[in-house]
Homo-oligomer: A and B are copies of this chain.
Amino acid sequence: MQPNTFGNLLALTTFGESHGPAMGAVIDGFPAGVEVDLQRDIQPHLNRRRPGQSKLTTSRSEGDRAEILSGVFEGKTIGSPIAVIVWNKNARSEDYDPNYYRAGHADRTWEEKFGHRDYRGGGRASGRETVSRVIGGSFARLLLPEEVSIVGFTRRIGEHVAEDIPDELTIDDVDAHPTRCPDAAVADEITETLKRCKQEGDSRGGVIELWVDGLDPGLGDPVFRKMKNRLADAFMSIGAVVGTGLGDAPAAAKARGAEFHTGIAGSGPDAGISPAAQGIQGGITNGRRICMRVYFKPASTVGSMAKKGRHDPCIVPRAIPVVEAMAALVLADHVLARRLDR
């Protein structure tokens, strides 16, 4: 019963409230002897998540400098739990009213559950909690083979859908545009829409698509720890996420079996591999690309609410490093689990 811990062999525990002293991440189960450089391996991912990166995002700007308290010595992990904190700054808690429940937020339900809560900026329910996840995920990446690439991008924001996507993508490719949409024309449309949202106090949701390439086959555990449900659990634990699926799941649900299943049965080298599987069969990786989509509802703080906090008209671009971080945690957990298979 650790509602603030994610993962099994690699376990991330997060703590901190939006307007408390600090956000934190404790990572247990991290193998010893892994080289870590805070500025090279961790801070860049925090920077990618940080608000205030462009005109499109919230004006709150914390800096978000990670500080390691435990687990790394002489540039390498030592088998101890890794503890990292980020101090909270620039939190104007006087903006918040304890008796004011924002619609669509956790305000009322957390009050219902716990009776007593930190009402400042969502407290523990704030999106700021994802700072800890990004830290955890950036450590998790260090456990993946070098050839593994985890890249998320904006597939959709509101009415705009990216269609012209290259077959290969790097994080740099995606980050080249503030919308993180790799279809340049659509990216421009999104920019226009989000500027208008900001003026009108409106917001948009969207879809992040995640590609994981370079994985070996055999990752994922049977029955209740399938790769697909662990990833779904990871993504759906992010505040604004309302759905997730392998590839285009709604399309799969409409398809005719005879057309959907194009793999070849038998006993040859590729026999049994299905292109429609999006990289996961029976819950276990087949060595091909994992493709998942993550659906976000529109940001719930709109219009006159803006004065009660400083929020983005669309969190999708900033959520990409969070989705990637959660994926990295799941993958690293399974990479460790693979050592126990036989």
Contact = CB atoms under 8 A, between A and B. Distances in A.
A202 B14 contact: no
A20 B258 CA distance: 31
B222 A80 contact: yes
Protomer copies: 4
Contacts of A244: 232, 236, 243-245, 249
Nearest to A161: B254
A125 to B, nearest CB: 5
Nearest to A29: B1
B20 A342 contact: no
A69 interface: yes
Contact of A243 (B221, B246, B302): B246
B252 A81 contact: no
Contact of A261 (B6, B118, B298): B298
A156 interface: yes
Contact of A78 (B117, B202, B207, B337): B117
Contacts of A267: 99-101
A166 interface: no
Contacts of A4: 26, 28, 80-81, 222-224
B336 A106 contact: no
Given A101-B265, A236-B229, A106 B295 contact: no
B253 A242 contact: yes
Contacts of A9: 1, 340
A300 interface: yes
A285 B217 CA distance: 34
Contact of A24 (B69, B123, B252, B303): B69
Interface string A62-76: 000001111101101
Nearest to A124: B80
Given A242-B252, A298-B260, A102 B272 contact: yes
B282 A110 contact: yes
A53 interface: no
A237 B302 CA distance: 36
A273 B103 contact: yes
A140 to B, nearest CB: 14
Nearest to A129: B223
B15 A69 contact: yes
23 contacts: A4-B28, A16-B69, A74-B116, A76-B116, A100-B267, A100-B271, A102-B272, A104-B276, A104-B277, A113-B284, A113-B338, A115-B341, A124-B222, A200-B258, A205-B254, A223-B237, A225-B237, A233-B233, A249-B295, A255-B297, A257-B299, A260-B298, A336-B340
Given A200-B258, A253-B297, 5 more contacts: A22-B70, A73-B123, A103-B261, A202-B258, A242-B253
